[in-house]
A and B are shown apart, each in its own frame.
Chain A
Amino acid sequence: MAIRPTYDNTAVIGTGQSVYTRRPEPGKLAHHFIRDAIVAALDDGGIGLGEVDGFAVSSMSIAPDAAVDLAWRLGISTRWLHQDTNGGSASISAFGAAVRAIEMGAANVVIVAAGDATGLDGYAKIAANFNRAIRDHAAALGYGGPNTAYALLTRRQMAAYGLEKTDYGHMAIAQRAWAAGNPFATYRDPMTMDDYLNAPMVVDPLCRFDCVPVVAGGQAVILAHPDRVPKGRAPVRVRSLGYSYNHDHQATDGLETGASVFAKDLWDLAGAGPDDIDVASIYDDYPAMIVAQLDDLGFMPDHDAKGFIHNRIKDRSFPVNTWGGMLSAGQPGGHAGGLNGVSEIVLQLQHRAGERQVKDAKLGLVTGYGMTMYRYGATAGAAVLERG
């Protein structure tokens, strides 16, 4: 019989982030951005560094260092340590691992952090050597990174759902409008459909505004018992978690993500459904993947993506990626980008999201999606969070 987990002993205590910058100063490492985020999160949660006894980190640019090297350099001694390598779902994966660690008594106060500072050249090297499959079988073709995989996937999705380029444009434009309310976002000026359609083509049919801008940056959240939440602030609790890894062996069209595998359990365990969600962070490495995940999770009646984009996303009546998402705020690596989605839902549920606040937000959804092993992403995760 499956266990029905409960998460009564865990809440998000604090969130923090570094600045996001397109061009980090020479010598400024992922380590520095992760540190800045942790300092901000500890300050936000009123937690002392000496109280921390669990640490999870994910990054693609701390090598040859690993999690324990960061713990050393940051002065953190722990009894629980976790390094997550699952790309765009690394942080939601690490977040869940941290929740389970606290619930099982493995740690009391856990930092979940992520960050990257690859620089543009560093990013290109990482992209060409992402794994053995890409290095051996794709890099020489001019693959150049995940843009190529998602260009092909977007073509398949356009054909399957009857979507046009302007439909994706409405999504990018809506996220840019949300970004205006996020002081940390890299791109905050309004975008028009002309701007979107006239942007240079990168990998057909993806133009510049379909591809996340690489930035350097870090994110951190602190988890602990709900009685550690600072006075006057609502605890943010976990209703349910869902994960999937290598759901279809890279053998299909990739239009269904791993979220399709856990969607039913996620909602059953949450005692809620898509209609109950007040605000959502849907991992947005590309607009097509927002569509795919929303459909997998049951947000689109009759799989009508076009209708959902035009009736709920375009006018922002369904608040998705209210921090601007990675498309506008920037992608500080997929790991920290995913964690920014978590932080945003926490701020929204605590009613601390400033001018982008969604009124009376009580229930939120966060997803992660990542590891483009060959033709599309192989990892997925999600959490339903509530204002407790």
Chain B
Amino acid sequence: MSEGLNAWTCKGCGAVYFPERYLCVKCGSPDFETVLVEGGVIEDMTVVRHVIGQKDWQPKPIATVLIDGGARILAGVTDDAQPGDRVRLSQEEQAPYARRA
């Protein structure tokens, strides 16, 4: 687990994206660079209690997080953070996680 989330920002206009894009929706630029986003706000949240074909599943909280810079992402929630809370972002491989800031 590493601190912050690797997102992508358009070199042309600064728009922030996650996942990666190849052309900027806002300005059409093909040039992006990675940017480490540290935080965001939880907009809504659920708990995944059952998954088809899985036995011994442990409930997993997942949230929509509006990250700093503007993109909406899906993130796993690792503590008792709730909708409306400001969160710190981290990532494991390419998967984003959030905890109360």
The residues of A with any CB-CB pair to B shorter than 8 Å are 120-121, 123-125, 127, 132-133, 136-145, 147-149, 151-152, 155-156, 200-205, 214, 249-251, 374-375
A376 → B minimal CB distance (Å): 10
Is B81 in contact with chain A by the CB < 8 A criterion?
A: no
Q: Top 7 closest A-B pairs, CB basis?
A: A142-B60, A124-B53, A144-B51, A140-B95, A141-B76, A151-B46, A136-B94
Residues of B within 8 A of A203 (CB): 46-50
**Knowing that A136-B94, A142-B60 are A-B contacts, what are 7 other residue pairs whose CB atoms are under 8 Å apart, sorted by A's residue number?**
A121-B53, A140-B93, A141-B74, A143-B48, A148-B48, A148-B74, A155-B44
On chain B, the residues within 8 Å of A214 by CB distance are 52
Seen from chain B, the residues whose Cβ lies within 8 Å of a Cβ on chain A are: 18-19, 25, 43-54, 57, 60, 62-64, 71-76, 92-97
What's the nearest-Cβ distance from chain A to residue B18, in Å?
8
Report A-chain residues with C-beta under 8 Å of the C-beta of B48.
Answer: 142-144, 147-148, 151, 203
A120 touches B52 (CB 8 A): yes
B51, B72, B95 interface centre (most CB from chain A within 10 Å): B51
Q: How far is the CA of A100 from the CA of B43 in the complex (A)?
A: 43
Let me know if A152 and B19 touch, CB within 8 A.
Answer: no
Q: Are A204 and B47 in contact (CB under 8 A)?
A: yes
State the majority secondary structure of interface residues on A: helix
Other-chain residue from A143, A200, A374 in contact with B62 (beta carbon distance below 8 A)? A143
- Cβ 8 A contact of A148, one of B62, B71, B92: B62
* In-complex Cβ contact of A143 among B74, B93, B97 (8 A): B74
Q: How far is the CB of B82 from chain A (nearest CB, A)?
A: 12
Closest to A135 in B: B94
Task: Let me know if A251 and B72 touch, CB within 8 A.
Answer: yes
Cα–Cα distance between A133 and B96 once the two chains are bound (Å):
12
Instruction: Please name all residues of chain A whose beta carbon is closer than 8 Å to the beta carbon of B47 when the two chains form the complex.
Output: 203-204
**Chain A neighbourhood of B54, CB < 8 A:** 124, 144
Q: Is the CB of A155 within 8 A of B75?
A: no
State A232–B75 Cα separation when bound (angstroms): 57
Separation of A249 and B16 alpha carbons in the complex (Å): 13
Distance of A250 from chain B, by nearest CB (Å): 8
B50 A200 Cβ-Cβ under 8 A: yes
Q: Are A375 and B19 in contact (CB under 8 A)?
A: no
State whether A142 touches B74 (Cβ < 8 A): no
Please tell me if the beta carbons of A145 and B94 are within 8 angstroms of each other in the complex.
no
Q: Is the CB of A124 within 8 A of B25?
A: no
Residue numbers in B under 8 Å from A124 (CB-CB): 51-54
A205 to B95, CA, bound (A): 24
Instruction: Please determine whether A123 and B53 come into contact, CB atoms closer than 8 angstroms.
Output: yes
A121-B53, A127-B52, A144-B54 known; A152-B76 Cβ under 8 A: no
Distance (Å) between the CB of A204 and the closest chain B CB?
5
**Structural contact, B49 and A204, CB atoms closer than 8 A:** yes
Known: A141-B95, A214-B52. A152 touches B44 (CB 8 A): yes
Contact among A123, A139, A141, A200 for B75, CB-based, below 8 A: A141
CB distance from A131 to the nearest CB of B (A): 10
Do B76 and A142 touch (CB < 8 A)? yes
Contact of A137 among B49, B57, B94 (CB under 8 A): B94
Q: Residue of B at shortest CB range from A149?
A: B74
* Bound CA span A149–B46, Å: 9
Please, which residue of chain A has its CB at the minimum distance from the CB of B75? A141
Give the docked Cα–Cα distance between A37 and B95 (Å). 41
Nearest CB in chain A: distance from B88 CB, A: 16
A residues less than 8 Å from B97 (CB atoms): 141
* Minimum Cβ distance to chain A for residue B49 (Å): 5
A123-B52, A137-B74, A145-B52 as given contacts; A152 in contact with B46, CB under 8 Å? yes
Complex alpha-carbon distance, A251 and B71, angstroms: 7
Partner of B92, one of A123, A132, A140, A204: A140
Residue in B closest to A200 when the chains form the complex, CB atoms: B50
